[in-house]
Structure 1
Amino acid sequence: MTAASDNWTIARAADAARARALLARLTADAGVPTLERARFLSALGTRLRHAVDAGGADLAVSAEAGGKLRVALDGPEPWRHTLVCPTPLTGPLPGLDDTSLADAVLGADEDTAALLAHLAETEELLRFHREELHQTNQGVLALHAELEAAALAQRELLDAERTARAEAEKARRLLTFLANASAVLNASLDHEDILRRLPELLVPEYARHVDVWFADDEHVPPAERAAATVTAARTGRPQHAGPHPGDLPGVDDLPASALCPQQPLLCLPLGARTVQGVLTLAAPGERFDPDTTVMLLELARRAGIALDNARQYEQHRDVAEALQRAQLTELPTTAGLELAARYLPATHGLNIGGDWYDAFPQPDGSVLAVIGDVTGHGLRAAVIMGQLRTALRAYAVEGNGPGRILTLLHRMLRHQQPELYATCAIARFTPGEPGVVWAAAGHPPAIARGPDGEVRVLEGRPGIMLGIPMAFSYEEHTLELPVGSTLALYTDGLVERRSAGIDAGIDRLAEAMGALGRSDLADLDGAADALLKPMLHDSEHDDDICLLLCRTTLE
């Protein structure tokens, strides 16, 4: 295709209208899109009107190869524009006179109509997209609302989880404290020790200060106690007194105490069976926490049980010591023989044991020194010990010697108290005779100290324990015991320790006997104390201890 071109002179408005109409037809025939064509014609019309106003101009139009239509307007305001035509123009370009003015006006309306139609399509498409955008916005808003609701629900769940974890941790902490405090209170059977430990456990975390009042305490009369404390003691119900109601679970509310009107008080009864006292706590802060109060109620209950147990233990201990000491003999005063004894109850337990010592004269003038130990502890052991002591004296009155007495005791215990055993050692001192006759039934060996300080452990065969289910006759042994000699009879509690065997304890006692000087032996009671001191250096012993010292003297 060869290029086609033409120059149009634009001198009047009619020329401008014809030029616009011709170019409108050419661009329409070339397939230029409506919107692009309308923009071109609008710009062209404006330029032509300006050119006419300025006195005229030449308009050059050329259709080039490649489907390009070039338009150049000369004049005061030169203007050039190139259009890409989908359908290339062929043949010569029409002249300016080929189009009438009427055709130009009608052509402009056609362009306007085409533009309006395109605009209507665009508006319809815009309306459609606007509606679509509205629906999308509604969906986005709904999605945002759902996301916000989900986020709120998640925050609520997280808050609930944090709260649950905090409550669980608080409950764990309270239960741990309750368990540890209970262990501390129950570890002691000393009434005063428990009362001393309560404030140590509760202050300052759970109470500002702690007071324990017992109904039988005569030092502080009820009139000087808080009204809530007295009410708790009288009713047996926990009481809260403060400037504001506590609303605590299981606790009655009372007005503030006149003794401390601004301080909330929690008064908890103590006692397992009956109310024996009241534990009064001052709040560590402005008020008591309900969950902590539940723990304190349980702790007070357990403290009451511990105090009851301690009081019962102390009563039983006192009774046991009285019973035990009632069984111990007042040592006789005999010419030619000096006696000294010591009895120490165990440092643990109820102190009711089966250890005993005895010394008494026989009808022939001799003196029997006895020491024994019934196996086990408790009231039964103490009762059997009393029976053996009584039976032994009865057999001795009949004139029996140590070996025969033990044989009879063994027979009695084996038949009357099966499965209960005892050890025993008997030494008979006869005035005017420089020796001692002894016999033993499963008992630790006696230790003799001569007047010159030599120490000897009596190694004679002791015989079986009393009560072993077999027939047995006990042998008697004779030991030379010059004047000034000392014989030590003792129970195994003196020489036996868990950390060492009984043999080591016997050797230690023999060494202590040998270490006694003449001045120590001048006072046999002092000698007994001197022997106990090195043997009990640890001050703790799990068994009762009996020690009976027998020293021969001039008549």
Structure 2
Amino acid sequence: MTRHRSNRPGSADDLLTELGRLATKALEHAELQRARVELAEALQRELLPGSLPELPGLRNAARYAPARSGLAVGGDWYDGFRLPDGSLAFSIGDVQGHDVEAASFMGQVRIALRAVAAFTSDPGEVLSRANDLLTSMNCTLFATCSFVRFAPVTGELLGARAGHLPAVWASTDGCGGVTEDEGGPPLGVVPGHTYPVTCWPLPAPGALVLVTDGVVEGPTFPVEDGLRQVVELVRAGAGGDPDELAAEVLKVADLTGHTDDAAVLVLSQDG
């Protein structure tokens, strides 16, 4: 007597059909994700500046790289532009999140900083006004940022930070370290906040380097270790080509696993 199961599984054809449906769905999802990443990368390239301004005695360079996985892109930026008083402004930052939304918001933050800087060159006031603008928009994202101003007459570099990593500096005589200035909360979080301004060291000859956390921090790589790596690299390359130094600093992301996009900004002053 032949026994029959009451809950008979589907036939082999049914199983293959279901596997095919799931594979098609997964492929469509992968293609959609890849398309979003490619769109974010294209948007990122368009939003980042093609070049940075220079003045006699001050050289600079910047580098950006998406995450190695290709899934984390769109949040980091760097920028540089001339101010009405003849000084130069530079910014670097990181938007919460990734993908197209982060890239779009990054563009809004950059435009806000440039617009505010047209009326005030004080880094703290620039961040305060940009923060008020972003909080008034009820944004769901926020951004960390460092904004610096180089005055060619005095050679001073004034900076303010909004939840961002401190800067790294070094001179050609081997001195260097991490700045210990006071910062404030990220932009778009606390309305009405003021950001203190600090005179950052820019030794002559020497270099000051700003990075986003994708350079120095990973899932199993503490940010303190990453900053120490950057300090050593800046000490070794303070008197050289800023573009080469930016490329070397960006390589620190390989130690972190490069799971996030990363940006580096180098300001170098001749002796």
| TM-score (ref. length: structure 2) | 0.89
* Cross-structure match for 1:206: none
Secondary structure of the residue aligned to 1:340 is: strand
**How far off is 1:350 after superposition?**
4.1
User: 2:264 maps to which residue?
Assistant: 547
Residue 37 (structure 2) pairs with residue 317 (structure 1): yes
Mapped contact 2:169–2:201 kept (Cα < 8 A): no
Residue in 1 that maps onto 2:211: 490
The answer for the alignment partner of 2:28 in structure 1 is: 308
**SS at 1:537 equivalent:** helix
Query: Aligned residue for 1:264?
Result: none
Determine which of 501, 510, 525 is the counterpart of 2:243: 525
TM-superposed CA distance for 1:311, in Å, is 2.0
Equivalent residue number for residue 51 of structure 1:
none
Task: Determine which structure has more spread, i.e. the larger CA radius of gyration.
Answer: 1
Q: Distance in 2 between matches of 1:517 and 1:441?
A: 26
Q: Secondary structure of the equivalent of 2:177?
A: strand
After the TM superposition, which segments of 4 or more aligned residues of structure 1 sit over 4 Å from their partners? Answer: none
**Take 2:237 and 2:270, find their aligned partners in 1: how far apart are those partners?**
17
Deviations 1:75-134 (A, max 9, x none): xxxxxxxxxxxxxxxxxxxxxxxxxxxxxxxxxxxxxxxxxxxxxxxxxxxxxxxxxxxx
Q: Is contact 2:160–2:197 with CA below 8 Å preserved after alignment?
A: yes
- Structure 1 residues 419 and 322, CA, compared in 2 at 3 Å: closer, same or farther? closer
User: Which structure 2 segments of 5+ residues have no match?
Assistant: none
The correspondence of residues 256-267 of structure 1 with structure 2, limited to 5 A, is none
Report deviation, 1:476: 1.1
Instruction: Give distance in 2, aligned partners of 1:388 and 1:534.
Output: 26
| Alignment equivalent of 1:441, drawn from 162, 171, 181 | 162
Q: Indicate if the aligned counterparts of 1:357 and 1:546 stay in contact, CA closer than 8 A.
A: yes
Q: What CA distance in whole angstroms lies between the structure 2 residues aligned with 1:448 and 1:386?
A: 28
Measured in 1, the distance between the counterparts of 2:202 and 2:208 equals 8
CA distance, structure 2, for counterparts of residue 551 and residue 430 of structure 1: 14
Q: Which amino acid aligns with 1:318?
A: E
In 1, Cα distance between the equivalents of 2:168 and 2:238? Answer: 16
- Note the C-alpha offset of 1:408: 0.3
Q: How do 1:418-429 and structure 2 match up within 5 A?
A: 418-429=139-150
Q: Which has the higher helix share?
A: 1
Q: Secondary structure at the match of 1:373?
A: strand
Q: Is the 8 A contact 2:52 2:79 kept in 1?
A: no
Cα RMSD after superposing both structures: 2.4
Question: 1:364, CA displacement in angstroms?
Answer: 1.7
User: 1:409 Cα shift?
Assistant: 0.8
Q: Secondary structure at the match of 1:376?
A: coil
1:39-81 Cα offsets, whole Å, 9 max, x none, are xxxxxxxxxxxxxxxxxxxxxxxxxxxxxxxxxxxxxxxxxxx
State the partner residue of 2:54: 334
Size of the alignment, in residue pairs?
A: 270
Gaps of 5+ in 1: 1-155, 176-290
Deviation for aligned residue 1:297: 1.8
Is the Cα contact below 8 Å between 2:226 and 2:252 reproduced in 1? no
| Residues 341/397 of structure 1: CA separation in 2 closer, same or farther (3 Å cut) | same
How is 1:341-352 mapped onto 2 (pairs within 5 angstroms)?
341-348=62-69, 350-352=71-73
Q: Give the TM-score normalised by structure 1.
A: 0.45
Deviation at 1:347, TM superposition (A): 3.5
AA aligned opposite 2:206: S
Where does residue 392 of structure 1 map in the other structure? Answer: 113
Identity across the alignment (%): 37
Deviation, 1:357, is 0.7
- Whole-angstrom CA distance in 1 between matches of 2:139 and 2:35: 31
More deviation in 342-351 or 370-379? 342-351
Q: Does 2:84 match 1:366?
A: no
- Partner Cα distance (2:238, 2:135) in 1: 43
Rate the CA distance shift 1:496–1:421 in 2: closer, same or farther, 3 A.
same
Amino acid at match of 1:545: A
Amino acid at match of 2:259: D
